[in-house]
Amino acid sequence: MNIHVDETLGLFHLQSKDSSYLFQIIEGYPAHLYWGAQLNHDTSLAHIVELRERCSFSPNPVPANRNISLDTLPQEYPQYGTSDFRQPAYQVKLEDGSRITELKYSGYRIAMGKPKLTGLPAVYTEADEEATTLYLELKDDYSGLKVTLLYTVFANHSAITRSTFFEYEGSGSIQLDEAMSASIDFSDSQYEALYLPGAWVRERHIQRRELGSGALRLESRRGSSSHQMNPFLALLRPDATEDVGDVYGFSLVYSGNFVAQAEVEQFGQTRVSIGINPFDFSWQLASGESFQTPEVVMVYSDQGLGGMSRTYHRLYRTRLCSGNHRDEVRPILINNWEATYFNFDADKIEAIAEAASPLGIELFVLDDGWFGKRDNDDSSLGDWFEDRRKLPGGLADLAKRVNDKGMQFGLWVEPEMVSPESELYRQHPDWCLHAEGRRRTEGRSQLVLDLSRKDVCDYLYDTLSAVFSSAPITYVKWDMNRNMTEVTSASASREHQKETAHRYMLGLYDLLERLTTSFPHILFESCSGGGGRFDPGMLYYMPQTWTSDDTDAIERLAIQYGTSIVYPASTMGAHVSNVPNHQVHRITSLTMRGDVAMSGNFGYELDLTALSAEDQALAARQVAQYKEIRSLVQQGDMHRLLSPFEGRGSTAWMFVNEDQTEAFVAFFRVLAEANGPIRRLTLKGLNPNKKYRLESGVAHIPADSTTDAGSETATFTEAFGGQSFGGDQLMRIGLVTSDLQGDFASLTFRLRAVE
The binder of ligand DGJ chosen from 71, 242, 246, 368 (CB under 6 A): 368
The Cα–Cα gap between 295 and 539 comes to 14
Please give the span between the terminal C-alpha atoms of the chain, in angstroms, as a whole number: 36
At CB < 8 A and 24+ separation, what contacts does 58-63 make?
58/83, 59/83, 61/27, 61/29, 61/102, 62/27
The one segment of 38-46, 150-158, 451-459, 527-535 that binds ligand DGJ by CB under 6 A: 527-535
Minimum CB–partner distance for residue 542 and ligand DGJ (Å):
14
Residue 105 has φ and ψ, to the nearest 5°, of -55, 130
By the 8 A CB rule, do 691 and 724 touch?
yes
Minimum CB–partner distance for residue 715 and ligand DGJ (Å):
28
By the 8 A CB rule, do 338 and 582 touch?
yes
Q: Interaction with ligand DGJ in 195-254: which residues (CB under 6 A)?
A: none
Instruction: Indicate the helix (H) or strand (E) that contains 195.
Output: strand 192-195
Q: Per DSSP, which regions of 326-455 are E strands?
A: 333-335, 363-366, 408-413, 417-418, 447-448
The one segment of 166-174, 324-332, 524-532, 745-753 that binds ligand DGJ by CB under 6 A: 524-532
Cβ proximity to ligand DGJ, 93 vs 582, nearer residue? 582
Cβ proximity to ligand DGJ, 136 vs 381, nearer residue? 381
Per DSSP, the three-state class of 544 is strand
The one segment of 215-223, 505-513, 523-531, 640-648 that binds ligand DGJ by CB under 6 A: 523-531
Cβ proximity to ligand DGJ, 220 vs 583, nearer residue? 583
Total site size for ligand DGJ, rule CB under 6 A: 11
Minimum CB–partner distance for residue 546 and ligand DGJ (Å):
5
Minimum CB–partner distance for residue 202 and ligand DGJ (Å):
14
The one segment of 39-47, 190-198, 526-534, 606-614 that binds ligand DGJ by CB under 6 A: 526-534
Q: Does 178 bind ligand DGJ (CB under 6 A)?
A: no
* SS3 assignment for 235-255: EECCCCCCCCECEEEEEEECC
Q: Cα dist. 179→147, 176, 683 in Å?
A: 10, 7, 44
The Cα–Cα gap between 569 and 339 comes to 25
By the 8 A CB rule, do 615 and 590 touch?
yes
The Cα–Cα gap between 101 and 142 comes to 8
The Cα–Cα gap between 381 and 421 comes to 8
The size of the chain, in residues, is 755
Give me the catalytic one of 84, 185, 479, 535: 479
Q: Does 367 bind ligand DGJ (CB under 6 A)?
A: yes
The Cα–Cα gap between 529 and 691 comes to 44
The one segment of 199-207, 230-238, 522-530, 698-706 that binds ligand DGJ by CB under 6 A: 522-530
Cβ proximity to ligand DGJ, 314 vs 582, nearer residue? 582
The binder of ligand DGJ chosen from 12, 151, 534, 546 (CB under 6 A): 546
Give me the catalytic one of 302, 549, 550, 739: 549
Cβ proximity to ligand DGJ, 102 vs 479, nearer residue? 479
Cβ proximity to ligand DGJ, 41 vs 582, nearer residue? 582
By the 8 A CB rule, do 459 and 392 touch?
no
Pattern 248-267, ligand DGJ, x by CB under 6 A? --------------------
Minimum CB–partner distance for residue 597 and ligand DGJ (Å):
14
DSSP conformation letters of 123-139: ---SSGGGEEEEEEEEE
The binder of ligand DGJ chosen from 78, 231, 530, 562 (CB under 6 A): 530
Cβ proximity to ligand DGJ, 34 vs 546, nearer residue? 546
Minimum CB–partner distance for residue 398 and ligand DGJ (Å):
17
- The strand pairing partners of 663, in sequence order, are 656, 751
Buried residues in 185-196 as b, exposed as e (16+ CB within 10 A): bbbebebbbbbb
Cβ proximity to ligand DGJ, 132 vs 583, nearer residue? 583
Cβ proximity to ligand DGJ, 16 vs 544, nearer residue? 544
Pattern 473-492, ligand DGJ, x by CB under 6 A? ------x-x-----------
The binder of ligand DGJ chosen from 231, 306, 410, 529 (CB under 6 A): 529
Cβ proximity to ligand DGJ, 71 vs 479, nearer residue? 479
The Cα–Cα gap between 336 and 346 comes to 12
The binder of ligand DGJ chosen from 395, 457, 527, 553 (CB under 6 A): 527
Cβ proximity to ligand DGJ, 263 vs 549, nearer residue? 549
Residue 521 has φ and ψ, to the nearest 5°, of -80, -10
Cβ proximity to ligand DGJ, 194 vs 447, nearer residue? 447
Catalytic residue flag (residue 450): no
Minimum CB–partner distance for residue 195 and ligand DGJ (Å):
23
Minimum CB–partner distance for residue 452 and ligand DGJ (Å):
24
By the 8 A CB rule, do 88 and 70 touch?
no
The Cα–Cα gap between 304 and 539 comes to 25
Q: Interaction with ligand DGJ in 398-417: which residues (CB under 6 A)?
A: 412
The one segment of 231-239, 525-533, 554-562, 722-730 that binds ligand DGJ by CB under 6 A: 525-533
Minimum CB–partner distance for residue 703 and ligand DGJ (Å):
46
Minimum CB–partner distance for residue 424 and ligand DGJ (Å):
17
Q: Interaction with ligand DGJ in 282-341: which residues (CB under 6 A)?
A: 337
Catalytic residue flag (residue 479): yes
How far is residue 711 CA from its own chain's centroid?
33
| HSE-CB for 692 with a 13 A CA cutoff | 31
Cβ proximity to ligand DGJ, 103 vs 365, nearer residue? 365
Q: Cα dist. 107→24, 136, 404, 574, 689 in Å?
A: 13, 6, 63, 49, 51
The Cα–Cα gap between 743 and 617 comes to 23
Q: Which residues contact 588 (CB under 8 A, 6 or more apart)?
A: 552, 553, 554, 579, 581, 744
The Cα–Cα gap between 723 and 693 comes to 6
Minimum CB–partner distance for residue 538 and ligand DGJ (Å):
14
Minimum CB–partner distance for residue 528 and ligand DGJ (Å):
7
Which residue's beta carbon is nearest to the bound ligand DGJ?
Answer: 368
Per DSSP, the three-state class of 490 is coil
Q: Which residues contact 718 (CB under 8 A, 6 or more apart)?
A: 696, 697, 698
By the 8 A CB rule, do 334 and 361 touch?
yes
Minimum CB–partner distance for residue 478 and ligand DGJ (Å):
10
Q: Interaction with ligand DGJ in 373-392: which residues (CB under 6 A)?
A: none
Catalytic machinery residues: 479, 549
Residues that bind ligand DGJ (CB under 6 A): 337, 367-368, 412, 479, 481, 527, 529-530, 546, 549
